[in-house]
């Protein structure tokens, strides 16, 4: 697929994207175990995404993109996550970072970036991480700025074409810019060695007096500078939700396949097939119910995000708040269901499923790593504040 460029038809992004996504997912599935063990940058897989046309999916047709909704795009994130949580993470974050340019920048900036992304099949990487405040930006005196410092958890920075970067100015205000990854002074550490999401390249990036031009700073309306701009964290959270849910769905499917092909019934069960064991069936039923509930909440949240996105600068705080609540509920459900399935899948698969050759623990490792992005307890607190007092979540980079 990476050898032949197959672009998504702009007039029918949803139906035609399937012709691109299906072979891509099949390709990823074939190498998922080997790549999980190897870690590092998924260069060939990223190039396949570049060639697919899917990187322009959320860009409007008037700028050469696919014109897809968030529901359509996140459905693809979920499909990819069923076989490869890392690539789903990178693909979802790419579209989040494009949305960041749209939400934080002025029309001239984001339209230019969208058109260049389409023409160059750009892959966007992350170096925003507002919690890591070790990066500073200062005026250089020649009409440009300089960024110096370090960032951690920079998912997708390796092999990216553009970075969304944040830094603090002299007044400790957050500044966000869109700059080329190849700019002099940027060094990607390649130090991501975590137990899960092993091909997300979520390690560190160092900035050594990196030049930033005035028109590369996204300052109108800027970070969370309007109600519409505050949709950025909603998109980020729903990307995570769909990655979690997809990994959980993939774990259930892999458990079903393993139990069908390799598991044996317990010797006192009185049955000859593992899938006739009543306790195995009970576990499968409980896992399915949990995922079904998470799916319903996630799909509802996607529709709420689409509706909020369409309102643009007319978006009202109460609509934004209601959207954030739906996403928070979906995140709690997807986290719980996904982790439960990734653990319980061994109950229905048996001792053979712990073989290193099967690599079934990758589902739990990927979920456990990614679900620590921000504590789900704080989502529950926000939901509790709404349920008990009617308080909508206050926009931040995590809600």
| Residue ranges per structural domain of the chain | 10-123, 127-216, 229-389
CATH number of 127-216: 2.40.110.10
User: Fold identical between 10-123 and 127-216?
Assistant: no
pLDDT band at 10 (very low <50, low <70, confident <90, very high): very low
The least confident of 15-19, 61-65, 135-139, 386-390 is 15-19
pLDDT band at 66 (very low <50, low <70, confident <90, very high): very high
**Which residues are paired to 188 by β-bridges?**
205
Return all residues near 202 (Cβ < 8 A) that are at least 6 apart.
153, 154, 155, 156, 192, 194
DSSP 374: S
Tokens found for residue 114: 């969208």
Phi, psi (degrees; rounded to nearest 5) at 224: 55, 30
pLDDT band at 16 (very low <50, low <70, confident <90, very high): low
Give the pLDDT mean for 229-255: 98
Of the candidate CATH numbers 1.20.120.350, 3.40.190.10, 1.20.140.10, 3.40.640.10, the domain formed by 229-389 belongs to: 1.20.140.10
Instruction: State the Cα torsion 289-290-296-297 to the nearest 10°.
Output: 160
Q: pLDDT tens across 269-309, in order?
A: 889 988 999 999 999 999 999 999 999 999 999 999 999 99
Angle of CA points 278, 367, 73, to nearest 5°: 105
Q: pLDDT tens across 149-205, in order?
A: 999 999 999 999 999 999 999 999 999 999 999 999 999 999 999 999 999 999 999
Q: pLDDT tens across 68-88, in order?
A: 999 999 999 999 999 999 999
What class has domain 10-123? mainly alpha
What's the confidence (pLDDT) of residue 14?
56
Phi, psi (degrees; rounded to nearest 5) at 127: -140, 40
Average pLDDT, the chain: 95
Is it the case that residue 267 has pLDDT exceeding 90? no
């Amino acid at each position: 697929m990476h050898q032949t460029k197959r672009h998504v038809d702009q007039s029918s992004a949803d139906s035609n994207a399937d012709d691109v996504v299906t072979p891509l997912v099949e390709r990823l599935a074939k190498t998922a175990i080997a790549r999980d063990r190897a870690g590092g940058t998924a260069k060939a897989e990223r190039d396949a995404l570049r060639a697919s046309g899917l990187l322009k999916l959320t860009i409007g047709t008037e700028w050469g993109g696919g014109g897809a909704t968030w529901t359509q795009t996140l459905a693809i994130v979920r499909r990819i996550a069923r076989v490869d949580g890392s690539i789903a993470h990178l693909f979802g974050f790419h579209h989040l970072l494009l949305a960041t340019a749209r939400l934080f920048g002025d029309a001239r900036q984001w339209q230019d970036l969208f058109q260049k992304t389409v023409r160059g099949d750009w892959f966007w990487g992350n170096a925003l991480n507002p919690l890591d405040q070790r990066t500073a930006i200062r005026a250089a005196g020649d009409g440009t700025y300089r960024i110096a410092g370090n960032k951690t958890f920079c998912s997708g920075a390796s092999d990216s074409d553009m970075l969304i970067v944040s830094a603090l100015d002299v007044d400790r205000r957050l500044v966000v810019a869109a700059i080329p990854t190849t700019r002099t002074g940027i060094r990607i550490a390649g130090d991501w060695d975590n137990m899960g999401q092993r091909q997300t390249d979520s390690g560190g990036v160092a900035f050594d007096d990196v030049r930033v031009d005035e028109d590369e700073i996204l300052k109108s309306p800027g970070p969370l500078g309007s109600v519409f701009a505050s949709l950025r964290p909603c998109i980020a959270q729903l990307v995570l939700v769909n990655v979690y849910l997809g990994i959980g769905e993939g774990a259930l499917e892999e458990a079903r396949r393993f139990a069908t092909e390799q598991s044996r019934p317990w010797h006192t069960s009185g049955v000859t097939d593992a899938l006739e064991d009543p306790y195995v069936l009970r576990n499968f039923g409980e896992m399915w119910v949990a995922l079904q509930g998470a799916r319903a909440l996630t799909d509802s949240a996607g529709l709420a995000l689409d509706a909020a996105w369409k309102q643009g600068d007319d978006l009202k705080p109460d609509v934004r708040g209601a959207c954030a609540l739906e996403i928070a509920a979906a995140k709690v459900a997807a986290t719980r269901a996904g982790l439960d399935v990734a653990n319980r899948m061994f109950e229905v698969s048996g001792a053979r499923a712990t073989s290193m050759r099967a690599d079934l623990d990758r589902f739990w490792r990927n979920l456990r790593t990614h679900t620590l992005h921000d504590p789900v307890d704080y989502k529950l607190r926000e939901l509790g504040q709404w349920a008990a007092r009617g308080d909508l979540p206050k926009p931040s980079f995590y809600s």
